[in-house]
Structure formats: C-alpha cells, structure tokens
Amino acid sequence: MPTEPLADGAPQASLPRWLTDDEQRAWRAYIQLAQLLMRQLDRDLHPFGLSMHDYEILVELSEAAQQRLRMTDLADRTAQSRSRLSHQVSRLESRGLVAREGCEGDKRGTFAVLTELGAAVIGQVAPHHVASVRRHFIDQLAADGLGALTGACEPALDRLRQARERD
Amino acid sequence: MPTEPLADGAPQASLPRWLTDDEQRAWRAYIQLAQLLMRQLDRDLHPFGLSMHDYEILVELSEAAQQRLRMTDLADRTAQSRSRLSHQVSRLESRGLVAREGCEGDKRGTFAVLTELGAAVIGQVAPHHVASVRRHFIDQLAADGLGALTGACEPALDRLRQARERD
C-alpha cells in the first residue's frame, strides 16, 4: 500500500497512521506467505480431488464428537461464510464424504456428519497433507519460530473471532 | 488434522511425522488468522467496491515504475495464478481502473497499467485499508511481535517463491 498519503489538498478528519517500514515488512511477509501457502497446499491436495477448504471441513468433522457439527459451528471453525460453506458441503455430500442431517427437536439448524467414506479419505490424505505443511511451513521455522508465531497470532485471532460472534 | 495415524494395518513406506501439539497450535493460529483477516479486510473494502485481490493489484501497480507491470510479474507479486489474475484485471479494466497495453518489440506479454482513475481510487481507499490492517492485525501484536513475525515468515516465503519460479 502507499506509504505516503496523496496530497489532494482536502483536509482529513484524522490523518491515517501509515505503516512504518517494519510494520509494512511484517504485514506483507505474513499475508503473502499465507496466500502462497494456501495455493501450494491446495495444489498438493489436488491429486486427491480435495481443496484446502474441503480438507478443513473434513478435519473439523473428524475431530468433533460423533464426527458431526452444526453447520453454523462448522462455519465458525473453518472461517467460512455460511453461504460458501453450504455450497462446499453440498459438493462433499454429492461425493459421499459428508451427510447432512436434521436436528431432532432443535430447529436451529442442520448438522453436517462425516461419513465412513469421508473418514477413510481423511485417513488416506492426512499423512500427505501433514508432510506438505511440514515441508512448506513448519520445517522452515527457526527453533524459536513456533512459539513466536503462536504468541503473535493468537491474540489477533481471538479478537477477530469475538468480533465475528458479535456480527 | 488428525494427530494419530489411522491403524489400517497397511504398512507405510515412510511413517508420517505428525505435528506435535505446539506445531499444530502454531500452524492453526497462523492459517486461521490469515483466513479470517482476508475475510475481514475484504469486508472492510466492500463499501469501495474492491476485494482484497483487487486492492493488491492496484497497489502493486501504483508502486511500480511508470505504474505498469508485465502481467506475469504482476501474477508473481500478487501470488495469483495467471488465469485468475487475467480475469481480475479484466474486471478492473471494465471499471476503468487498469488498462492493458501490448509491449512494443517484446512478444513476451502484455502490461497492466494503472489509470488516473485507478490511482485516485487507491489514494482514496488506502487510508481506510491501512486503518483496517492496523485495527485487526498490527495493533494486536505485542512489542516484540513484529520482528518475530517477519523473522518467522520471510524464510518460508522466500523458499515458496523460489519454488514457484521453478514451476
């Protein structure tokens, strides 16, 4: 982003606090790495017919009690909008990896449930995906990088999640 | 992702090195924050009719010599696939923010050029976008978070970029 404001002569209510060089560098390293990583992990999942978003949905279900989650909870956990998640779950459903079930005595929504086939696919794909995460990310971090990264990201993550819940 | 391999009885060529709890925590904090941030920044750009990807394209052009970049270089800098970038540039072109120009005496490709209108739009939007990046990310970092983040991300970013160039 520009580091200098445009001199357009118009008074501004509050001057923008432009990013310093160090802030700019950290921000760009962070977000560009995330974008490249998502693309690379997507590419590595491609031979299995899954995208990163598909994979995340299957993993969240595989770790949930009875391998099922309310759609709204699944949207929160995968950082997806509800409409996009619904579309993705439909695609996974058509492949037999996920099933949708109504929620007896609870009108608040539908559950997504991992099928046996879905569980088998996750079991098959996970070792390859973990190797990919290691190769492109974890194994590139210096010895003190793990803790530094967690410490830097978790407060911002918690805050953004809370903001979403208030949406 | 599962932290235990499925016991399916089949021998494996090489045992997966599953992520440790600390690695898992760092990886999830990193990637989930990135996904939520992208969505939040997108939402904050929405009143201006731009997505994060649109904004990144305009910024890269605004910082380039003569505010122009070869399409292939623009794809590299914005971490986009060439087909997706081409589609996005077409949309920006139809709104008069970017123009495409052939490259005289050079058959290697087309240039994308920021128009006057595109420059004016970036000038108008940048203060709001920077405020958004500050609010949701930079100002959430602890004092030592900036350097830690840059130090953690840049080596992996450099490596992924080099890998792409060999594609």
User: What is the per-residue pLDDT across A41-79, written as a single tens digit (0 to 9) for each?
Assistant: 999 999 999 999 999 999 999 999 999 999 999 988 887
Q: Tens of pLDDT along B119-142? A: 999 999 999 999 999 999 999 988
CB B31 within 8 A of CB A56: no
What distance separates the 2 farthest-apart alpha carbons in chain A? 65
- B117 vs A: CB within 8 A: no
Token output for A110: 């539908």
Compare CB distances from A16 to B29, B130, B150 and report the shortest one's residue: B130
The residue of chain A with its CA nearest to that of B140 is A156
Q: Tens of pLDDT along A128-138? A: 999 999 999 99
**Nearest-CA neighbor of A138 among B156, B15, B16?**
B156
**Nearest-CA neighbor of A114 among A77, A59, A75?**
A59
Q: What is the mean pLDDT of residues B5-11?
A: 44
Q: Give the DSSP H/E element, type plus range, for residue A80.
A: none
The number of residues making up chain B comes to 167
Q: What is the pLDDT of residue B9?
A: 44
Q: At what angle do helices A145-165 and B145-165 cross, to 10 degrees?
A: 100
Q: Radius of gyration over alpha carbons of chain A, in Å?
A: 20
Q: What is the mean pLDDT of residues B52-58?
A: 95
Q: What is the mean pLDDT of residues B20-39?
A: 92
Q: Give the DSSP H/E element, type plus range, for residue B49.
A: none
Q: How many CB pairs under 8 A join A and B?
A: 205
Q: What is the pTM of this model?
A: 0.83
Q: What is the mean pLDDT of residues B83-90?
A: 92
Question: Which residues of A, range 5-44, sit inside 8 Å of B by Cβ?
Answer: 5-6, 8, 12, 16-19, 22-23, 25-27, 29-40
User: B4 by DSSP, 3-state: which?
Assistant: coil
Q: Tens of pLDDT along A5-33? A: 444 444 444 678 899 999 999 999 999 99
User: A8 by DSSP, 3-state: which?
Assistant: coil
Identify the sign of the CA torsion A38, A57, B137, B118: positive
Contact A131 B81 (CB under 8 A): no
**Nearest-CA neighbor of B147 among A30, A155, A112, A126?**
A30
Contact B38 A31 (CB under 8 A): yes
**How far, in Å, CA of A133 to CA of B19, rounded?**
9
pLDDT at A111 over 90: yes
**Nearest-CA neighbor of A48 among A127, A104, A161?**
A127
- Percent of chain B having pLDDT more than 70? 86
CB B141 within 8 A of CB A159: no
| Ramachandran area for residue A51 (φ above 0: left; ψ -120 to 50: alpha; else beta) | beta
Sorting pLDDT into bands at 50, 70 and 90, what band is B161?
confident
CB A118 within 8 A of CB A97: yes
**How far, in Å, CA of B109 to CA of B116, rounded?**
23
Q: At what angle do helices A82-94 and A52-63 cross, to 10 degrees?
A: 80
